[in-house]
Amino acid sequence: MVTLYHYLVLSALLFGIGLYGVLTRRNALLILISIELLFNAANVNFVALNRYLYPGQPLGQAAVLFVIAVAAAEAVVGLALVLALYRTFRTLQIEKIDLLKG
Enumerate residues 49-88 that contact another protein by CB under 8 A.
Answer: 50-53, 55-59, 61-62, 64-66, 68-77, 79-84, 86-88
Name which position in 1, 98, 101, 102 contacts another protein (CB under 8 A). 1
Interface positions, 12-51, toward another protein (CB under 8 A): 12-21, 23-27, 29-30, 32-34, 36-37, 40, 43-44, 47-48, 50-51
* 97 makes contact with another protein (CB under 8 A): no
Please choose, from the candidates 16, 4, 74, the residue with its C-alpha nearest in 3D space to the C-alpha of residue 46: 4
66 and 53 Cβ atoms separated by less than 8 Å: no
Number of neighbouring beta carbons within 10 Å of residue 48: 20
Residue 48 in contact with residue 8, Cβ under 8 Å?
A: yes
Size of the site for another protein (CB under 8 A): 75
Amino acid (one-letter) located at 79: L
